[in-house]
Structure formats: C-alpha cells, structure tokens
Chain A
C-alpha cells in the first residue's frame, strides 16, 4: 500500500515536471521555430521559407496538447529528440554525462564520509574540549568557502606550481583528484557536524553505558555500539547529497572542464538547446525522486519503528 502510494506520487510528479519541461520553449518570449534556427545558425534575419519548413517538420503548427502527447510518448520511449546544437540524440548525451557525474559525485561523497565519520566521532568523544572546538570551527568555516575559489587555488598549488596533477579535463583517475576534493569539502563539513551531533546522543544513551559496564573496551564499544548507530542520519544525508550532486556540480565541472551533467546543463542553457534542457530536467527530477523513494523504502525495511510511525500518522 505504502509502496503503491509512493509509486503513484512518483508518476504524478514526473508527469507534472515533464509538462513544465515541455512548456519551456513556449514560456520564453519568441517563436520556438525561430529560436531553433537561431541556435543553429546564429542569424537574426531568418528566411521565412526555412522557418515554415521547420515549423512543419517539427509539427510546431499543431495544437499544444497534441504536441505534448507526442513529445511525452517519445520521451517515455527514451527519445527526447536531437540536440539543437550537436544534432545527436539528447538521451545519449545525458547518458554519457550522467555516468561521469555519478562517478564524480559518489567518489566525492565517499571521500567526505571517510573523513567526516572519524572526525565527527572524535569531536563527539572530546565533546567541549579543544579537539572538538577545533573540528567544529574548521568544518563550519569550510561551509563558507565557495568552490569557484577553492578550485582555482587547488589548481594553482597542485597543478601549476607543483605540476603533480592535471588542471582540467577528464583523462583518468589523476584528473578526478582535484574536482573530487573540491566537491567533497562541503558535504564533508555537514557530515562531520551530523556525525558529531548524533554521536553525542548515542554516547549519552543507556546502551553505551551498559556496553561499557559489561567491560567492553572503549574502542570496541565505540565501533560496535556507537558509530553504527550514529551512522543512520549520515546515510540519509548521503542520499540527499547524492541527488543534489548529480546536478549540482555545475561550477566544478565547468572549471575543470569535465564532460558531466552540470556542464551539459550549463552549455545547453547558454546555447538555448531546448531538447537538452528538457531531457536533463526530466532525468534529474526522475532520479532525485527515485533516490528519495528508494531511501524511504530501504529505511522502512531497515528500521521497523518508522513503519508503525507512518501508519499512525
């Protein structure tokens, strides 16, 4: 029942978002056919015959809802049309870009978690002491660093001065280091703060006291009873950030010229490449809603108390 309802919401959301995406060329001032030609040839006085031909070829002279129905039918079959600028199927472009961005996002988030969990746990254990203050202050400061500043600084130091890493491009593991570090900084700060907060709660809970009273060494108690319980909120946050980073690495991808989703969207926006914009919106919303739904489902399987809470709500 719960699953059915969530699937229904997912489908309805996608339908509404797809309609909005479909409407984009009509929301902007100006005639879509004119814009298609302009995006291709960049010429301001266009040949009327070419315009009429284009209008007929793309069926732009038919009623709006008929056009939407056709567009949706094609979209469901994975056909969002050809890119106005590159003339290749948009879906293929998005497929490539998404793989790149997914690699980038997952790597960055893994780095973030690997750094954040020990740091957060350390801060929690040293709650209120200098180590905690230092970790909290620094991670809170990190949140205020813009990535379009961090990236050039990293490039300057590691690529231009030391020559240790490539400054841009997508040519292998070495080229992933700087972008991943840039992307990891902010989630790392948030994850550290969340781990710290939930770890402080766990440390004060009776089962930790019981574990210590049974004579479990501190380290064993921490790993077996502490970190495992403190990780739950971090996992939720991970899925939120994953959905966000799939689209949100625009600046980093532009700076490091990485052929990912963010740069694809940026370029399609700059070039007014409507099919690419439409397909990216639908794909990203679809993915984001899917990820949140999956997280909810997994959460309910892992944690039965949520299930009863949902029923009573």
Chain B
C-alpha cells in the first residue's frame, strides 16, 4: 500500500463490466442491421438519380444522396456488409493461424521458433497496410487476394501473443502434473493450454478488430481494396472527398460508421480484459 493511495480498495463489482455490455449491444445491433440490410434498404444502393444529386439529409432520402444521386443510407448499410465481413473473416483466419503457429513455436522451440520470431520481427516492422498494399499490388485486386494480404500482414501479433501465453502456461504446475501423469502433447494443448489462452487471445482479437476494420477501409480508400461497383465505407469516403465543402455529410457518415463499429468491438475487448483481471 502506498501513502498516495488512501482510497478504499475498489469494490469488486459482480456481473458484466459496463464496457462489455455497451460494446456488445452496440455491436450486436450493428450486426443485426447489416444482416437484415437487404430487407431494410429504403432504396437500391446502386440506383442513380442524377437529377437529385447531393440532396441534403431529410425527406425521402434520410441521409441525402451522393454525387450520383444514390441514397446514402442504403449505401451505408450495403457498404457495411463488405467492411465488417472482410474485417471479420481476415481477423478470424489471422487469429487461428497465428495462434496455431505461436503454440507450435512455443512447444517446438529451436530453429523453428527462431525463424518464426525473425519473420514476425520483419513483418511487425511493417504496418499491416504496407504489407497488404504490396501484396495486393503483386497479386491483383480481388476479394481473395485482399483477404490473403490482410492475413499475411495480420497473423504476427497473434503468433507472438500465443507463443508467450503458451510458454507461461507450460511452466505452471498443473501442466507439469498432467505431463507426469503421461498426458500426450496435444492433449495438453487442447485440455490445458487453449482454454487458458482463450481469454487473452479473444480480448486481443476484439482489440484488433477495430484496427482491421480501419485497415480494410484504408485499402479501399486508396483504391486497392473493395472495387467498384461494390463499395464499402472506405471507398464511399474516398468518393465523397471532392464534395467535402458542398456536402460534408457524405464524408462524415461512413467515417462515423467505421468509428462506431470499431469502438464497439474495442469496448468488448476491454470488457473481456476487465473480467479476466477481476478473476485473477
């Protein structure tokens, strides 16, 4: 106890941390809206109405229309399906491959561990977006290469975390006990290591999601991600840029959508961490 810390110890609040509740419900709502988007869309997101360009918000077009007279709200809902699903798919693949590589490295050690650590060092030196940018340039722009590029740029933090967590759990007594009892390598991985590693990895995945969503948007913004006629939040933002002074809303809404979605999942990640620390 420090002299500076005179307040009573914080009461251990039972139940769910508020950040988990707020983030979780916000994200669930977003997912629900995006899933139901085909039935909710007030207009066809691709339908142009050049007579009604850059219409202000309100009226039939709730958020107005863009530079080709397309309904902004419909495009937001439709674009979110691309943004969120690409971010989620790449995150899931990155997390699973990274975790597997990390666990294998921690258990095998030796040259394999050294090699993977060096690869991680090099890849981590590059921001994800640069790796993805170069790969998209080499492999061409389509959804498959976009996902592949984001996975190659994104598995390293998971490998590093999983490696660290595995090494830490392996040194615990209960793993030693299981080994003494004659449990197999993979039994220990599935029975002891994965369940204990799940919560930090899950928290990390949730904290990374916002970053992924922003990176997907950035690639689309640069014209290297989602290609027309499809549009995600990033490419909507890019298309709206020339009309910044005439209709700032066109830039504001897609950005706000990315921000709120990223924020909600970040809150979930923090909530998981709070719960974990509370248990520990």
Q: Which of A283-312 contact B (CB under 8 A)?
A: 284-285, 288-289, 292
Q: Is A254 close to B, CB under 8 A? A: yes
Q: Is B171 close to A, CB under 8 A? A: no
| Residues of B near any A CB (own CB < 8 A) | 1-5, 7, 10, 118, 121-122, 125-127, 129-130, 133-134, 136-139, 210-211, 214, 217-218, 221-224, 234, 237-238, 241, 244-245, 248, 251-252, 254-256, 258-260, 262-263, 266-267, 270
Some 21 contacts from A to B, beta carbons below 8 A apart, are A12-B118, A13-B118, A13-B122, A17-B122, A28-B138, A140-B266, A144-B258, A152-B237, A156-B251, A160-B244, A203-B5, A204-B2, A205-B2, A244-B127, A247-B130, A250-B129, A251-B221, A265-B130, A269-B133, A269-B224, A285-B125
Q: Is A75 close to B, CB under 8 A? A: no
A251 to B132, CA, bound (A): 13
Cβ–Cβ < 8 Å partners of B224 in chain A: 269
A80 to B129, CA, bound (A): 24
Cβ–Cβ < 8 Å partners of A243 in chain B: 125
Known: A127-B5, A277-B137. Is A152-B126 also a contact (CB below 8 A)? no
Q: Is A1 close to B, CB under 8 A? A: no
Give the number of residue pairs across the A-B interface with Cβ within 8 Å. Answer: 138
Q: Is A272 close to B, CB under 8 A? A: yes
Cβ–Cβ < 8 Å partners of B137 in chain A: 269-270, 272, 277
**Contact between chains at B138 and A208 (CB < 8 Å):** no
**Contact between chains at B262 and A247 (CB < 8 Å):** no
- In the complex, the chain B residue whose C-beta lies closest to that of A155 is B244
**Contact between chains at A266 and B133 (CB < 8 Å):** yes
CB distance from B261 to the nearest CB of A (A): 8
Cβ–Cβ < 8 Å partners of A203 in chain B: 2, 4-5
Cβ–Cβ < 8 Å partners of B222 in chain A: 250-251, 254, 266
Known: A128-B10, A140-B266, A146-B217. Is A289-B121 also a contact (CB below 8 A)? yes
Q: Is A3 close to B, CB under 8 A? A: no
**Contact between chains at B126 and A247 (CB < 8 Å):** yes
Q: Is A125 close to B, CB under 8 A? A: yes
A250 to B263, CA, bound (A): 23
Beyond A150-B255, A247-B126, A250-B133, 11 extra complex contacts between A and B, CB < 8 Å = A140-B267, A140-B270, A144-B214, A145-B259, A148-B218, A148-B238, A149-B251, A149-B252, A149-B259, A204-B5, A254-B222
Known: A128-B7, A209-B3. Is A152-B241 also a contact (CB below 8 A)? yes
Per-residue 0/1 for A141-170: is the Cβ within 8 Å of any B Cβ (1 yes, 0 no)?
101111111101101100010000000000
Contact partner, B237, options A127, A149, A156, A248, Cβ 8 Å: A149
Cβ–Cβ < 8 Å partners of A153 in chain B: 251-252, 255
**Contact between chains at B244 and A156 (CB < 8 Å):** yes
Known: A203-B4, A203-B5, A285-B125. Is A144-B262 also a contact (CB below 8 A)? yes
**Contact between chains at A141 and B129 (CB < 8 Å):** no
Cβ–Cβ < 8 Å partners of B223 in chain A: 270
CB distance from B253 to the nearest CB of A (A): 10
CB distance from B199 to the nearest CB of A (A): 19
Q: Which 6 A-B pairs have the closest CB atoms?
A: A149-B255, A288-B125, A248-B127, A144-B262, A269-B137, A144-B263
CB distance from B105 to the nearest CB of A (A): 16
